[in-house]
Amino acid sequence: MTIKPLADRVVIKMEEAEETTKSGIVLAGSAKEKPQVASIVAVGPGGMVDGNQIDMYVKVGDKVITSKYSGTEVKIDGEEYTIVRQSDILAVVE
Amino acid sequence: MTIKPLADRVVIKMEEAEETTKSGIVLAGSAKEKPQVASIVAVGPGGMVDGNQIDMYVKVGDKVITSKYSGTEVKIDGEEYTIVRQSDILAVVE
Amino acid sequence: MTIKPLADRVVIKMEEAEETTKSGIVLAGSAKEKPQVASIVAVGPGGMVDGNQIDMYVKVGDKVITSKYSGTEVKIDGEEYTIVRQSDILAVVE
Amino acid sequence: MTIKPLADRVVIKMEEAEETTKSGIVLAGSAKEKPQVASIVAVGPGGMVDGNQIDMYVKVGDKVITSKYSGTEVKIDGEEYTIVRQSDILAVVE
Amino acid sequence: MTIKPLADRVVIKMEEAEETTKSGIVLAGSAKEKPQVASIVAVGPGGMVDGNQIDMYVKVGDKVITSKYSGTEVKIDGEEYTIVRQSDILAVVE
Amino acid sequence: MTIKPLADRVVIKMEEAEETTKSGIVLAGSAKEKPQVASIVAVGPGGMVDGNQIDMYVKVGDKVITSKYSGTEVKIDGEEYTIVRQSDILAVVE
Amino acid sequence: MTIKPLADRVVIKMEEAEETTKSGIVLAGSAKEKPQVASIVAVGPGGMVDGNQIDMYVKVGDKVITSKYSGTEVKIDGEEYTIVRQSDILAVVE
């Protein structure tokens, strides 16, 4: 199944990031903090949203940071995704 | 009885989806998670809503994901439906 | 007494619907679910509401479904009515 | 003292209505339900309110139904009035 | 000290009104109800407020009724005043 | 350090006002009421704020009254200031 | 990793400021108050946000004061940053 987001929505997938502490220890699972970086897997077409024309400036593959608690979590084919508005994306990390 | 949604509203029906776990077990009834995919059974005409012109871009038969808790549940002829605004539809799945 | 709703308001009357269960039993009174279908008994003239021009597209006699809890209940000549905005009407049933 | 309401405001006076039950008994005082019908005693001039031009379409003497809990109760010369916005008036009864 | 209200604000002073009951008794202090009529002591210049052009239509000396709880109470030179927006003034009494 | 407020913001400093009671006693410290008059120490440039063009009409040195609880308190070089929007300033006192 | 904020967002880093009390004692760690001054490390491109054209007037290196509790805290490469909207920045300090 493929998810095609509507309007100004973007489908993201949280990264299963390993986190290396300053002392060099790699944390995994619940011992590490919840990652805040997600990958964009699908981008909506934009268009008129609440009376404003929205152009999409993020693209598939971007690593992004979103507002905490924003978006709706969905499970498709056993994989967990989050659907957010483009305006919930705070920054791109490179 | 037929439901004809007004303005930017859309009538959806939650899918009675079977869910297959990664290990291949098919879950049914309360043992499976609540499905998040619904089928569109009727689409309103769009038009002026709160001062904005709304064009409808979803159509009958689309499989869609909606915001949790959005919409109003109705029971017509013993069947349960949910009426949502088009803007509560996050994505189409194919 | 006649009720003439103002602006974008609509007067509806909840149907005292009998409900037939799938097994054919007719439920009455408190044993049945609260009906969600109402009949329109009066329609306001529309016009400017909160800075937007509202045209009325429902008409007297329409059977409609409204948002739960929307509207104001009034009792005129011993009959109970509900006054809602047209925008609280989700769908027409036929 | 005379009350001259400003902008889109309307001064109403709750009717001390007698209510006749279906069996013909006339209820008075606390035994009857709170009346929901009020008489308009003064109408503001309308004009620009929150950036919208408001025209007044109710007039002194109209019997009206208002949203419950809307408005501000005032006591002038020992008489109780309620000041509401025209948009809080749901319907005129005749 | 003189208070010059800004924008659409108005400085009012609650009247220390005596209230005469229907039986002719004059109530004073805490035995009487809080007066709801205030005198305007200063009026702001109006102008652009939240993107709307506001013209002032009340004037110094007007006796007015305001929404309960609206405004900010201030004490200048030992005198108590309330600063409200013109839109919080419901009516003028004459 | 100098504070330069942005957009429609204004930096104010609460006056350490002595208050003389009607009987002539000068109150100081916690025995007196919190002063409500502040001095403006810096004014932002105005400009577009939330889609509206804001012109600044207060100036450094003005004694002003602000809404209670409005603004953000900051401590710069050991001095306490409050940063408010111009629209939180109710009046100028002279 | 580099953070590139989107739209009207700005990445700031709280200053690990030493604070010298009036008596000349330097406070460190939890004994001092939380610093309220932050440095801007990245500035978004501005553009259309909620239907308004936003021009960015802050720049990398500015020392700024923000509304308390505004923004989202993120941790990138072990460093903590806060992402705020430009409109959450109250003032620049020099």
CA-to-CA distance for F50 and C1, rounded, in angstroms? 48
Q: How far is B85 from chain A (nearest CA, A)?
A: 12
Task: Name every residue whose Cβ is closer than 8 Å to that of residue C5 and which is 6 or more positions away in sequence.
Answer: C11, C42, C43, C44, C83, D90, D91
Class of residue D14 by CB neighbours under 10 A (exposed 0-12, middle 13-18, buried 19+): middle
A91 contacts G4 by C-beta, under 8 angstroms: yes
pLDDT in tens, E26-46: 555 444 455 579 999 999 999
Q: What is the mean pLDDT of residues C43-56?
A: 95
CB atoms within 10 A of CB F55: 10
Mean pLDDT of chain E: 85
| pLDDT score of E31 | 46
The distance of C26 to chain D (nearest Cα, Å) reads 28
Inter-chain contact B3–C89, Cβ cutoff 8 Å? no
B12 contacts in chain C (CB < 8 Å)? none
Contacts of G87 in chain F (CB under 8 A): 7, 49-50
Give me chain B's average pLDDT, please.
Answer: 85
User: Which residues of chain A lie closer than 8 angstroms to B71, CB-CB?
Assistant: none
Contacts 24+ apart (CB under 8 A), F16-21: F21/E78
CA-based nearest residue in chain G for residue F44: G91
- Tell me: pLDDT of D20 over 70: no
| Among G32, G81, G40, residue whose Cα is nearest residue G64 | G40
**Closest by Cβ to D93, choosing from C3, C44, C49:** C3
Residue contact B74–C65, C-beta within 8 A: yes
Chains contacting chain D through 3 or more C-beta pairs under 8 A:
C, E
- Taking residues D56-80, report their average pLDDT: 91
Question: What is the structure's pLDDT at D58?
Answer: 97
Under 8 Å between Cβ of E13 and E41: yes
Answer yes or no: are the C-beta atoms of B90 and A83 closer than 8 Å.
Answer: yes
pLDDT band for position D21 (cuts 50, 70, 90): low
Q: Model confidence at E76, in pLDDT bands (50, 70, 90)?
A: confident
Looking at chain D, the whole-number percentage of residues with pLDDT higher than 70 is: 79
Residue B20: per-residue pLDDT: 58
- Does E65 contact D3 at a Cβ distance shorter than 8 Å? yes
Q: What is the mean pLDDT of residues D40-56?
A: 96
Rounded distance between C-alpha atoms, residue A35 and residue C92, angstroms: 47
User: What is the rounded CA–CA span in Å between residue D60 and residue D55?
Assistant: 15
For residues G5 and A91, the answer to whether their CB atoms sit within 8 Å is yes
Look up residue B66 and give its amino acid: T
pLDDT value at residue B32: 46
Domains and CATH numbers, chain D: 9-93 (2.30.33.40)
- Looking up tokens 């700005």 gives G10
Radius of gyration of chain A (CA): 15
Alpha-carbon gap, residue G19 to F11, rounded angstroms: 22
What residue in B sits closest to C93 (Cα-Cα)? Answer: B3
Mean pLDDT score, D26-40: 65
- Where does the pLDDT of residue A89 fall: very low under 50, low under 70, confident under 90, or very high at 90 and above? very high
Q: Which of A68-82, D37-51, F15-29, F64-78 has the lowest mean pLDDT?
A: F15-29
Q: How far is G61 from chain F (nearest CA, A)?
A: 15
CB-nearest partner of D90 from C49, C50, C72: C72
Q: What is the dihedral of CA F40, F14, G33, G12, to 10 degrees?
A: -20
Q: Tell me: the pLDDT tens digits for F17-38?
A: 555 566 665 555 444 455 579 9
